[in-house]
Structure 1
Amino acid sequence: MTFKNYLGILGALMVIGGGFSPMLHIPIIGNWNYWDIDTVLASVVYALATLALFAAAGGKFGLLRFCGWALIIVLTFTFVAVYFKVTNYFSFIPLKKLAAAASSIIKYRWLGWGLILSGALIMIFFSKKNKNSKSA
């Protein structure tokens, strides 16, 4: 296995670790990871990370790059959905300032988001073909 294979495996493991890391902190309830936010999106992220793990081990760098881009798209969609959910979570409160103050107590935990994003970027940028390498 080459250095690129190991970097792809590292990127996939970073995505898996980021999915299990805290991504949101909700008072009284506690920290939420990807699985607590949405099980369907978490299943997609874990499936893509597993596919990327096998692609990196097998040397399929095109598939690894595809998984990296797909993970970034899913992560962006999740972040936008979580942002809108957090801002509208207390919309049942009739006073807008009180609802905004209640929404501000939900905090983002950036460790999980950052691990997933950096793992996906490692998969994308380190799976490119070298210009000097010859194909057999």
Structure 2
Amino acid sequence: MTKCSGCGYVRQESDAGSLAVCPRCNVPYLWSAGEASQGDEAEAPPRSVRATRLRKNAAATGEPQGVRDVVISALVLAVGCFAPLMSVPLVGSITATQLRFSDGYVLLALAGLAVWFAYSDKVRLVRWPGWAALGIVTFDFVALFMRVQQAKTDMQANLEGNPFAGIAEAMAQSIQLQWGWVPLFAGAIGLVLVGHGRRLPVR
């Protein structure tokens, strides 16, 4: 007996139809299991037909299309809101919630809105909070990077000839961007992709 790894149905001897296709979800075992099953070879239908069958199978199992991907992207974005974006001497790490206008809380609200859209069966609308989040993250990254570079340049110019210039310059050079930007960009881009009908490369 052959078991479909897509819907979990175990094929019975009384089931009609091609031996290479699951009688319940109508998806070839070659697609769901990654290997050809014994029996007749199924000719792969057009890509649009396959996508339609997969959507019907997802609806039959009670899992809205793309909800998992939206939740993953929103969680990654939320993690980035509390991750260090920049390290400053004597101050420590700065997160998105500590930036001007508290952009981190805006990003959290956008992540929550995306999840709400997904569970309301409006996955296509996720693109809008995704684009908004990506715009905010990109603007903050560019603005913060330029501000740090300008501060370093001004400090070097103002302390020229000062006996403590070496110490100040060392402190200025220790101001660095941190890893928190990675989940912020990844989460926002993930929401955009899912909103435009793409699926994340996760299993």
Give identity over the alignment, percent: 27
Q: Per chain length, whose mean CA-contact separation is higher, i.e. which structure has more relative contact order (CA < 8 Å, sep 6+)? A: 1
Match of 1:106 in 2: 175
In structure 2, list runs of 5 or more residues that go unmatched: 1-62, 199-203
Match of 1:11 in 2: 73
In structure 1, list runs of 5 or more residues that go unmatched: 131-136
TM-score of the two chains, using structure 2 as the length reference: 0.56
For the 8 Å contact 2:66–2:194, the answer to whether it is kept is yes
Considering only aligned residues, what root-mean-square deviation do their CA atoms show, in Å? 2.4
Match of 2:122 in 1: 60
Match of 1:126 in 2: 194
Give the structure with the larger helix fraction: 1
For the 8 Å contact 1:87–1:103, the answer to whether it is kept is no
1:28 is paired with a residue whose SS is: coil
Deviation at 1:24, TM superposition (A): 0.8
Rg bigger for which structure? 2
Superimposed CA distance per residue, residues 69-97 of structure 1 (whole angstroms, 9 cap, x where no aligned partner)? 11111111101111122123353561469
For the 8 Å contact 1:61–1:127, the answer to whether it is kept is yes
Moved over 6 A (4+): none
> Hey, what's the Cα distance between the residues in 1 that align with 2:109 and 2:96?
13
Deviation at 1:3, TM superposition (A): 5.1
Match of 2:89 in 1: 27
